[in-house]
Structure 1
Amino acid sequence: MRRSERWMVGLGLAMGVVSGGLAQDANDLTPSRARALFDEAKQQCDADGGKLWGRSLCGPMMIVEPATRRVSANAPDRYNALVEEHGVFIGRLPEGETIANTSVEWSGVKWVQVQWPMPTDAVQQRVLMAHESFHRVQAELGLEAKGEQSNGHLDELQGRYLLQLEWRALAAALKANDDATIRAHARDALMFRDRRYATFPQARAAERSLERNEGLAEYTGIMIGGSDPSERTALALHDLSSHVADPSFVRSFAYATGPAYGLLLDRYAPDWRVQIREQADETPASLLAMALKVSASATQADAQLAVRAKAYDGATLLAGETKRAAERERELATYRNKFVQSPILVLPLSNPRVMFDPRNLVAMGAAGTVYPSAKFVADWGSLEVRDGALLAGDWSKVQVPRALAAPGQHGTIGDKGWTLVLADGWQIVPGERDGDVTVKRVAQTP
């Protein structure tokens, strides 16, 4: 789940599909419980035997308790930061190291990292561990995410409308029993996608990276975490329905599309996982279009869109999205005043580590994307955001309301909306615009 040195909070959980998991207390990750989870991860990994991707997903895994930063791991680290205790390896993750559901390199080892508490549902636990295990070997498979872009078009009226029509068509395809019906709904899904690409010319390239990254990871989680075809289909259908409630689709959409297209490809192009490793420009959707011999045609899509949208209650969906679009314009005006027009604190970023929830981002076009809550770690220190921050589209800077920040300050600077902890040798200095401030490394007094 990372791009360069950016760590991002994982979503990818199939929530509430199957009950029966052991209840967990957030402060009760015992060695025996950790060991049981590690054993389950290994069992499902061994059961796959490398068949899915041609490479085993087994490997070092750690579970981290955010409040205490306590680590429980299934393997030793390289530099002896962990101590064996009752069959697991215990230690503490240093301050400055990011805690997230992801893959990280720490103390000489590349780990699968998951946060405690994990989902209480047993299936959800398995999906999560397999999803993050894919990220650990993703680069070795030649599938490392590259050039991730903003998907701000998925906050636009037509972008959201056409994406949800696509989701509904995919769900109908997964629920169908006969081949002709499955193919018809799959073609509808691809038609809605092609129309989105025609409406937003940048969409195809912008969506590709996330679909190859999180879409493939969530497909992997469901394939290995699900026990049989019916359970995997139920998990994929849940991903398609649960993300409808996300405040924003700009970074969560691929968790829904990835498993659905993957399962359809398993039916119509069983060798697709080899193809996608060899062809960097392809996505599961484009491979399905080739398998079904569906060609993109914006003209055809325009002619058929209204007719086919009726099959998925498109009128009701469009009415709801039109109302949301009006509300969004008011929200964007507030954000522009808060993060652009008013005095701000600007923090430059270079290979940052970022923790955030991908479900609630708000795209602001060329200005960047609003992250309602997040933590940014960079060479100047750390910024914890509770009431929103604006991240540039190229991740070159993050900005928050200036509030109490003033030139000459250093150390910890707090505001109700954010807390900045500056590293030694850094302090607040005047910014480029009158009234703005930024940070700068300064000479330390001997």
Structure 2
Amino acid sequence: MPSIRPQARSLLVLALASSIPAADAAPDPAVAEHVFAEARRLCEAEAGALWGRSLCGPVMLVDPADAGVVASHADAGGVLVRLGAVYTGTLPADAVMSNTAMEWSGTRWTQLLWPVPQDPNMLRTTLVHELFHRIQPELGLDRGEAGNRHLDTFQGRYLLQLEWRALARALMAEDPAQRRDHVASALAFRAERRRLFPEAAHGETALEINEGLAEYTGVRAGLAFAEQRRAHGVYSLAAFMEAPGFVRSFAYASGPAYGLLLDEADPAWRGKLDADADLGRMLAAALRLDPDAATGLAARERRYDPDGEVLAAEQARERQRQERLAGWRRSLLEGPVLVLPLQSTRFQMNPQTVAALDDVGTVYPELRLGDRWGELVVDGGAALVHADRKRAVVALPAGSDGLRGEGWTLSLKPGWKLVPGEREGDLTLAGPAR
């Protein structure tokens, strides 16, 4: 699923001075040439060492404001126009615009939103992350995501953060025995979380394969030195504890940590991967640990949260979450709503703000949702996508014309109109007559 990349995931303070010219309001061909050259340098240096095939391929920079494109290659369909060393044009209105891999005009692209990161290390890790996504399906390493609603609960979040603290200590440890001890603690917190939430293993491993491997690849091939990679892994684990939500973003932190630890424990681990792999279990096997041993949890909790600061923060957040859930139930379940049918959906969202609403579905406070009927933009409001992914809803305030509400706007394509929904007060959409 394409997403707006979380800024916190790559803020590695290793090079404060930028070597990239300041970004203008639209993709600048000179900056684009620099980005394309950097992508080519990184993928040629990696030379297929990690995954057995080159990461090199067509790259495009896209301005989300007007869909303007600057690309490294010509498209197979001949839409783009050459301008010096680059190619320019405009994406169609219904195209996905995100940091992602995409098919367009007969070519498979790595797409990056403009402006690109100006910190050199952030740019490099982002570039390689997205270059990996372009080849990921060919490697058989993409999985359907099942959601991770448990990571919006008190217990799910707390145990994840304890796992992260143990992983950070493992990455910092110089002594192999100490590293193994911290990994054992991380796996114990992971096992307890999955005992409490039996569905957790499926959803977590899917996102760790889909996004965790991409982020690991960004760190491994984007940063030149082992010390940089470990520092990045530790920083990401710490920075993500400040993220407002973990449901769709946790693997950006967990993936590099497990991947870098696996590099130490079993350098051949990537060759043993398939789409059903569990990175935690692979690390446990490499270190001869029991991945299901959730033992000594009280002592481990005191070790990684000695002052109880994480516990207190999560207890306060849980109180706030319950208030927020009550408000969403009133507005998105009990009150009048606009119901949007989903068939050929395009998502752009901020994975750090995604939250679960009971077992009903997922709430997106920041979302750009496109379908046959047009586009819904949510910025500071709330859209609920039901678990069956057949419909999305937004709250209809009193007197709304159905095209805008608190924190959202709807743009309809010609021929589509608003009609009464199944419940009194609801609205839905009807398409053009056939």
Q: TM-score, normalised by structure 1?
A: 0.93
Taking the aligned partners of 1:414 and 1:331, their CA distance within structure 2 comes to 21
What does residue 182 of structure 1 align with?
179
Match of 1:294 among 282, 285, 289: 289
> Is structure 2 residue 318 aligned with structure 1 residue 325?
yes
SS class of match (1:149): coil
Deviation at 1:160, TM superposition (A): 0.6
Match of 1:81 among 79, 83, 100: 79
Identity, % of aligned positions: 43
- The C-alpha deviation readout for 1:25-61, integer Å capped at 9, x for no partner, is 3426322221111011101100010011001000000
What does residue 127 of structure 2 align with?
129
1:151-300 maps to which residues of 2 (within 5 A)? 151-277=148-274, 280-297=275-292
Taking the aligned partners of 2:259 and 2:273, their CA distance within structure 1 comes to 11
Query: After the TM superposition, which parts of structure 1 deviate over 6 Å for at least 4 consecutive aligned residues?
Result: none
What does residue 309 of structure 1 align with?
301
- The C-alpha deviation readout for 1:139-196, integer Å capped at 9, x for no partner, is 00001122x1121111111101100000000000000111111111011111110010
Deviation at 1:416, TM superposition (A): 4.4
SS class of match (1:72): strand
What amino acid sits opposite 2:283 in the alignment?
L
> Is structure 2 residue 85 aligned with structure 1 residue 91?
no
SS class of match (1:68): coil
Cα distance change on mapping 1:91 and 1:26 into 2, 3 Å: same
What amino acid sits opposite 1:375 in the alignment?
R
- Gaps in structure 1 of 5+ consecutive residues: none
SS class of match (1:120): coil
SS class of match (2:137): coil
> Is structure 2 residue 431 aligned with structure 1 residue 441?
yes
What does residue 368 of structure 1 align with?
361
What does residue 408 of structure 2 align with?
418
Taking the aligned partners of 2:406 and 2:312, their CA distance within structure 1 comes to 37
What amino acid sits opposite 1:401 in the alignment?
A
User: Residues 10 and 102 of structure 1 are in contact (CA less than 8 Å); yes or no, is this contact kept in structure 2?
Assistant: no
1:352-367 maps to which residues of 2 (within 5 A)? 352-367=345-360
User: Residues 62 and 71 of structure 1 are in contact (CA less than 8 Å); yes or no, is this contact kept in structure 2?
Assistant: yes
What does residue 35 of structure 1 align with?
33
Taking the aligned partners of 1:258 and 1:130, their CA distance within structure 2 comes to 14
> Is structure 2 residue 379 aligned with structure 1 residue 390?
no
Match of 1:55 among 49, 53, 56: 53
SS class of match (1:110): strand
Taking the aligned partners of 1:394 and 1:212, their CA distance within structure 2 comes to 23
> Relative to structure 2, which stretch is displaced further, 397-406 or 427-436?
397-406
User: Residues 26 and 116 of structure 1 are in contact (CA less than 8 Å); yes or no, is this contact kept in structure 2?
Assistant: no
Q: TM-score, normalised by structure 2?
A: 0.95
What amino acid sits opposite 1:286 in the alignment?
R
Deviation at 1:132, TM superposition (A): 0.4
SS class of match (1:372): strand
- The C-alpha deviation readout for 1:233-261, integer Å capped at 9, x for no partner, is 11111211111111111011000000000
SS class of match (1:29): coil
Deviation at 1:405, TM superposition (A): 5.4
- Gaps in structure 2 of 5+ consecutive residues: none
Taking the aligned partners of 1:351 and 1:274, their CA distance within structure 2 comes to 35
Q: Provide the alpha-carbon RMSD of the alignment.
A: 1.6
SS class of match (1:20): coil
What amino acid sits opposite 1:391 in the alignment?
V
User: Residues 162 and 301 of structure 2 are in contact (CA less than 8 Å); yes or no, is this contact kept in structure 1?
Assistant: yes
User: Residues 162 and 193 of structure 1 are in contact (CA less than 8 Å); yes or no, is this contact kept in structure 2?
Assistant: yes
1:91-130 maps to which residues of 2 (within 5 A)? 91-130=89-128
Taking the aligned partners of 1:442 and 1:258, their CA distance within structure 2 comes to 45
Match of 1:14 among 6, 10, 17: 10
> Relative to structure 2, which stretch is displaced further, 96-105 or 387-396?
387-396
Deviation at 1:354, TM superposition (A): 0.6
